[in-house]
Amino acid sequence: MDYLPIFLDIKNKTCLIVGGGQVATRKVMLLLQAGAQVSVVAPELESVLDEYAAHGTINHRAKCFQPEHLHNIALVIAATNDHAINQQVSEAAQERRIPVNVVDNPALCTFIMPSIVDRSPLLIAVSSGGQSPVLARLLRAQLETMIPVAYARIATIAGKFRKRVKQHFTHPAKRRIFWETILQGPFTEMILAGKDKTAQNYLLQSLQQEKNEPPQGEVYLVGAGPGNPDLLTFRAMRLMQQADVVVYDRLVSTAILDMVRRDATRIYAGKERNRHTLKQESINQLLVRLAQEGKRVLRLKGGDPFIFGRGGEEIETLALNHIPFQVVPGITAASGVSAYAGIPLTHRDYAQSCIFVTGHLKNNTIDLDWPRLACPNQTIVVYMGLLGLPVLSRQLISHGLPSSMPAAIIQQGTTQQQEIVIGTLQTLPNLAATAHLSPPTLIIVGEVVKLHKNLAWFEPALENSKTHLIDMESNG
């Protein structure tokens, strides 16, 4: 986060605009809307500001800026086309610890003016940190179309009932659940339809019917996908915002974890090779205990919870303890990572079947059905197989697959750190070692790997992404 977004109360406070042109006019109008007393310092004013000054709407000083103009000023905006004056304003304001914004010059600012969606008392501010104001305005325009004007009335009516709801519910979690239920139900639809009085009666009746009891705990078993937050489902996003506590795994990316409700308690339950923060049995019991305390628990897992995620074991324990739960599938690494690597898992010319296996090493070996894996016209996807890659390659070759069989290993697939190593069963272990890969990785073995060269479409940031590609035919 480059800037801390805050909302300032400047009602009846004197704010200074330096400059008298069209840009200054826009800033003056914005400050007036926020209830500020506006003073403008500029030798001349454009017509709108001149009219404002004539009617006493603003105070105009027809002078060049001087530091003494900052006396008793709460906030200042420099909106001239003279860099030297803008810099003088910025330095003088910062010496006096007055918030200052210099239009189109983030380096001289202590705060950034965002693009604003105004549904007062509901306000939404969008900022690019000064990097792309046009992009911020485009996003604001999209939000304007998505958020009806009636949301202002929703916020106002909810505010009228806030004190009463707080008095009724002594349990904060129960109070939050009540508001979430109200705001996502008929109450909102009634206001959108213009039935404000009906909506208020509905809210009052709902409050009277709700008992002030501890909330019912529940567990949400949610698949977070392979790492890219854009691949989350709508349902996953909704539950991530409702949870009181999140229990998350090592494979859940920081970008996804940042999308969980900010005041939710976070518990790390990651498991790495030979180092488990919590054993699986402990995680199972933790989920039960948290739910029994009345909490809504988000169990967030990388990929899909039912594909090598031990989700079945967790909900078995929940069911035995009569804990309500929901399961939200996620995009598993096999489909997500292969798609972003440009490697279809099936293709009528190369593979008519696909099999998923886990490549965990145990006593320096991997216990798999090798004859079944070493079949023609089949794609093999190996989860968690980085350390066992030499064993995997050796066993597949010894059970009948050609050493020239195309193979790929992808690190942090679908993310901006995606790295792809492509070779053959014979060469891939050495190539992966040379590339210094680290988990999470996914291995794909099969003729479909040949398609990567023509089908690769995802282009991560150049400074992060690497693709190691050898000529598979010449190394066959």
DSSP secondary structure letters along 52-98 = HHHTTSSEEE-S---GGGGTT-SEEEE--S-HHHHHHHHHHHHHTT-
326 touches 220 (CB < 8 A):
yes
Secondary structure class of 307 (helix, strand, coil): coil
Q: Per the annotation, does 270 bind a ligand? A: no
**1-60 pLDDT per residue, tens:** 788 899 999 999 999 999 999 999 999 999 999 999 999 999 999 999 999 999 999 999
For 248-268, what is the mean pLDDT?
Answer: 93
Distance from the Cα of residue 284 to its chain's centroid? 27
Domain co-membership, 458 together with 413 = yes
Who contacts 163 (Cβ-Cβ below 8 Å, separation ≥6)?
A: none
> Annotated active-site positions, please?
249, 271
Instruction: Among 85, 113, 141, give the residue marking a domain's end.
Output: 113
Bridge-based pairing state of the strands 115-119 and 122-126: antiparallel
The chain-wide mean pLDDT, for the chain, equals: 92
Q: Which three-class secondary structure state does DSSP give residue 258?
A: coil
Q: Is 350 inside any structural domain? A: yes
Q: What is the mean pLDDT of residues 149-159?
A: 95
Q: What is residue 471's predicted lDDT score, i.e. its pLDDT?
A: 44
**Per-residue pLDDT at 371 exceeds 60:** yes
**Domains held by the chain: number:** 4
The pLDDT, as a whole number, for residue 170 is: 87
Is 332 within any annotated ligand binding site?
A: yes
pTM of the model: 0.76
Q: Does residue 302 have a known ligand-binding role?
A: yes
- The domain boundary residue, chosen from 273, 302, 331: 331
Does 346 map to a domain? yes
Rounded to 10°, the helix 172-183/151-168 angle is: 150
171 found inside a domain:
yes
Looking at the predicted structure, is the pLDDT value of residue 273 above 80?
no
Amino acid in position 340: Y
Q: Check whether 22 is labelled as a binding-site residue.
A: yes
Q: Which of 50-64, 73-87, 123-137 has the lowest mean pLDDT?
A: 123-137
Average pLDDT rounded to a whole number, residues 115-143: 92
- The dihedrals phi and psi of 303, each to the nearest 5 degrees, come to 70, -135
Residues 354, 448: one domain?
yes
Q: Which domain holds residue 157?
A: 151-209
Q: Has 314 been labeled as part of a binding site? A: no
Note whether 338 and 327 are same-domain residues.
Answer: no
Among residues 331, 362, 394, the one where a domain terminates is 331
- Comparison of pLDDT for 184 and 210, the residue scoring more: 184
Percent of the chain with pLDDT over 90: 83
One domain, residues 324 and 272:
yes
Dist. CA 377–CA 347, nearest whole Å: 9
Residue 476 pLDDT exceeds 50: no
Is position 23 annotated in a ligand binding site? Answer: yes
The answer to whether 416 is annotated as binding is no
User: Does residue 464 surpass a pLDDT of 80?
Assistant: no
